[in-house]
Amino acid sequence: MGAMFIRRDEVVGLFPPPPGVTPNFANPPSRGHIVITANIVLSFVSTVFMGLRFYTNSFITRKRGVDDYMAVLAWLLLLGYSISCSFITKYGLGRHIWDIPFSVLNPNYMKVSTIAKTFYGTSVMFTKLSILALFLRFIPDGKLRATVHTTMVVIVIYSLLLSFQWVYRCRPLEKHWDLAITRGSCIDWLKINIFSGVMNTITDVTILVLPIPILRNIRIPIRQKIGVMIVLMTGGFVSAISIIRLKMIVDSVGSIDFTWDVCQIVWWSVEVHIAIVCACLPAGKPFFRRHFHKFIGSSYGASVGTRRQTMRSGYAQHPRSRDGDELSLNRFPDGCSDGESSYHI
């Protein structure tokens, strides 16, 4: 991307405007406020849900698992991504490229942009690993468990590969942010983003369909099944966002106005913040049952703890989980336990 820019006088701008367009350096149109506002709102929402999950697992169920720690790490990295995206609006993100004097788009733009993408990639990785680690708590040994492990390995490999490409996409490395360097070469950032979008979409859909074989083979009350389907539908929304983001990346191929077009990163933020919310949804039921039981009905809450049903079909032969806890339906979906923590939908 840096190879197409030439040092110009500050009053000219980074790139010539289209025919009939006059550069506006005094009060240019900008999408920067959209990036900042969206990231503030999304960060607030994901923080509320993460706080709910942490509170529930610390003070209500009093048990935490590895998926909880992965979710917290994903959330912290995501906050770093949102802060980085908002910060680089200071250097021209959101403006048309011909409205930006060269002095504004300084090396910090590209450096912080690279940091933001690394935050994004690792946050996505830990969010998905957290959800899959939760799945492993109530999946007995078999092909489905092996599929989850394989999906986790694929996610780690492509996420680390993407982070490496974002950091080292130029040779020499300084070419990434020093526009005066004309030697060397850079990998097209659009190709990296398209690869990221494709892999994220594939793994999002995989995570969405993985619970279906379990739901198909268990007998649960309709109210509980509706709760499970709501969570899955939320995951489907994340998959839809991934597809929208991928389409926008493809549509931007060949565009020179990257500082304006790159505001599609708002969809990157939406995708991961909503994924964090999805990962925290199972903690909602015990929280509301504890603090708002008068509104959701105490009789239902009391009956759940004594309800014992068994799985049928392929899972009936596995009455206990991998760690020895009974996989009765008061554990899934009303509560899934492996001896470390409890989850509710």
HSE-up (13 A, CA, CB side) for residue 263: 21
Whose CA is closest to 268, among 209, 320, 325, 196? 196
Amino acid at 254: G
- Report the pLDDT averaged over residues 211-217: 72
Q: Give me the pLDDT at residue 326, please.
A: 34
**Is residue 307 pLDDT above 50, yes or no?**
no
Angle subtended by helix axes 189-209 and 107-136, to nearest 10:
20
Q: By the 8 A CB rule, do 50 and 102 touch?
A: no
* Of the candidate ranges 64-73, 80-89, 245-254, 263-272, the one whose mean pLDDT is the lowest: 245-254
Mean pLDDT of the chain: 77
Q: Give me the pLDDT at residue 16, please.
A: 83
Which residues are within 8 A (CB) of 218 and not within 5 positions of it... i.e. 6 or more apart?
Answer: 309, 311, 312, 315, 329, 332
Q: Give me the pLDDT at residue 234, please.
A: 67
Q: Give me the pLDDT at residue 161, please.
A: 92
Q: By the 8 A CB rule, do 283 and 243 touch?
A: no
Question: Does the predicted model carry a pTM greater than 0.75?
Answer: yes
Q: Give me the pLDDT at residue 108, please.
A: 79
**Is residue 264 pLDDT above 80, yes or no?**
no
Q: Give me the pLDDT at residue 79, please.
A: 96
Amino acid at 76: L
pLDDT in tens, 33-55: 999 999 999 999 999 999 999 88
- Report the pLDDT averaged over residues 277-302: 69
Query: Where do the domains of the chain lie, and which CATH numbers do they carry?
Result: 31-285 (1.20.1070)
**Is residue 156 pLDDT above 90, yes or no?**
yes
* Of the candidate ranges 83-87, 111-115, 308-312, the one whose mean pLDDT is the lowest: 308-312
Please provide the DSSP assignment of 193-215 as one string.
HHHHHHHHHHHHHHHHHTTHHHH
**Is residue 298 pLDDT above 50, yes or no?**
no
CA distance 312 to 210: 18
- Report the pLDDT averaged over residues 137-154: 86
Task: At 171, give phi and psi (nearest 5°).
Answer: -130, 120
**Is residue 104 pLDDT above 80, yes or no?**
no
Structure tokens at 148: 């989850």
Highest mean pLDDT among 82-86, 198-202, 302-306, 322-326: 82-86
Quickly count: other Cβ atoms within 10 Å of residue 99's Cβ. Answer: 25
Q: Give me the pLDDT at residue 105, please.
A: 65
- Report the pLDDT averaged over residues 246-253: 76
**Is residue 173 pLDDT above 80, yes or no?**
yes
